[in-house]
Copies of this chain bind each other. A is one copy, B any other.
Amino acid sequence: MSINPNVAVVASLLGETSRATMLTSLMDGRFHTASELAFMSAITPQTASFHLSKLVEGNLINVEKHGRHRYYQLANKEVAHLIETFLAISPPPEVRSLKQSNQVKLLQEARTCYDHLAGKLGVALTDSMLNANYLKKEDREFIVTPKGEQFFTDFGIDLTELKRKRRSFSHSCLDWSERHYHLGGALGNGLLTHFFELNWIVHVPSIRAVKVTDRGREGFKQIFNINM
Q: Let me know if A83 is at the binding interface, CB within 8 A.
A: yes
Overall SS of chain A's interface: helix
Identity of the chain B residue whose Cβ is nearest the Cβ of A23 in the assembled complex: B7
With A79-B89, A85-B82 known to touch, is A14 a contact of B17 (CB < 8 Å)?
A: no
B11 touches A11 (CB 8 A): yes
- Give complex CA distance A96, B4 in Å: 10
- Least Cβ distance of A84 to chain B in Å? 9
Contact of A4 among B5, B81, B87 (CB under 8 A): B87
Question: In the complex, which of the residues A11, A15, A18, A88 has the most CB atoms of chain B within 10 Å of its own CB atom?
Answer: A11
Note all chain B residues with C-beta closer than 8 A to A42. 1-2
Inter-chain CA distance A83–B7, complex, in Å, is: 8
**Is residue A41 contacting chain B, with contact meaning CB distance below 8 A?**
yes
Residues of A within 8 A of B (CB): 1-21, 23-25, 40-42, 78-79, 81-83, 85-94, 96
Some 23 contacts from A to B, beta carbons below 8 A apart, are A1-B40, A2-B18, A2-B41, A3-B24, A3-B96, A4-B20, A4-B21, A4-B87, A4-B94, A5-B20, A7-B20, A7-B87, A8-B15, A8-B16, A8-B17, A9-B90, A10-B89, A10-B90, A11-B11, A15-B15, A78-B88, A78-B89, A82-B86
Using A4-B21, A10-B90 as known contacts, list a sample of 13 further A-B pairs with CB atoms less than 8 Å apart, ordered by residue number in A: A2-B42, A3-B93, A4-B90, A4-B93, A5-B21, A7-B14, A8-B16, A8-B21, A12-B16, A14-B14, A82-B85, A82-B86, A82-B89
